[in-house]
A = this chain, B = another copy of it.
Amino acid sequence: MSTSERLIESTRELLWERGYVGTSPKAILERSGAGQGSMYHHFKGKPDLALAAIRRTAEEMRATAEGVLSGPGTPYERVEAYLRRERDVLRGCPVGRLTMDPDVIVDEALRAPVDETLDWLREQLAQIVEEGKESGEFAPSLDGEEIAATAVATVQGGYVLARASGSPAAFDAAVRGLLALLAPPDAIDH
């Protein structure tokens, strides 16, 4: 791996573990094994390096979600696949967690990939819900964009509950609750 790659990958790990405020340039150098000179050769500073790291994490999250959402199955099954996809729940979401980082939120450039990724995810889910309304799987009274927001919020908030309790059980309960509410009438007792 090139030094520039090592710097980006170390920053991604640190942002996930400790957030932006909690990640010092010194910690990035230590983890990547890069020297200060080479960090400033490749990147203008912590915000510039963090932006490269956040963009890559956002792209990966998008690719993972895309794989699940565009997979086989009915609209309900694809929403279910998204909600139930394998996650390291106690680590939280590497993208969503950045919204609790005050220095990310006030920086338009750093916030942009976070906003775009969650927005894209909501659009994909909204489309699937609309498909499900057409096929009769979801009630016609539901609003695709609202249900999509509820689904993404349930996942993001599920991480909060899991990390508070130190167990993934609360995440799973939140997902099961939403799936029970979304289930087509003839599937409720399955």
Q: Give chain A's interface residues, CB within 8 Å of chain B.
A: 17-19, 21-22, 92, 96-97, 99-103, 105, 111, 114-115, 118-119, 122, 139, 141-143, 145-161, 163-166, 170-171, 173-178, 180-182, 188-189
In the bound complex, how far is the Cα of B18 from the Cα of A19, in angstroms?
A: 11
Q: What number of copies of this chain does the assembly contain?
A: 2
Decide: B149 and A156 in contact? CB cutoff 8 A. Answer: no
Q: Is the interface of A mostly helix, strand, loop or mixed?
A: helix
Q: Is the CB of A118 within 8 A of B177?
A: no
Minimum CB distance partner of A119 in chain B: B165
Could you tell me the distance between the alpha carbons of A103 and B17 in the complex, rounded to whole angstroms?
10
B152 touches A153 (CB 8 A): no
When C-beta atoms are compared, the residue in chain B nearest to A182 turns out to be B181
The answer to whether A115 touches B152 (Cβ under 8 A) is no
**28 A–B pairs (Cβ distance < 8 Å), ordered by A:** A17-B102, A19-B100, A22-B102, A96-B157, A96-B160, A96-B164, A99-B160, A105-B163, A115-B164, A118-B165, A119-B165, A139-B188, A141-B189, A143-B177, A146-B177, A147-B177, A147-B180, A149-B174, A149-B177, A150-B154, A150-B177, A152-B161, A153-B157, A153-B170, A153-B174, A154-B154, A154-B157, A155-B157
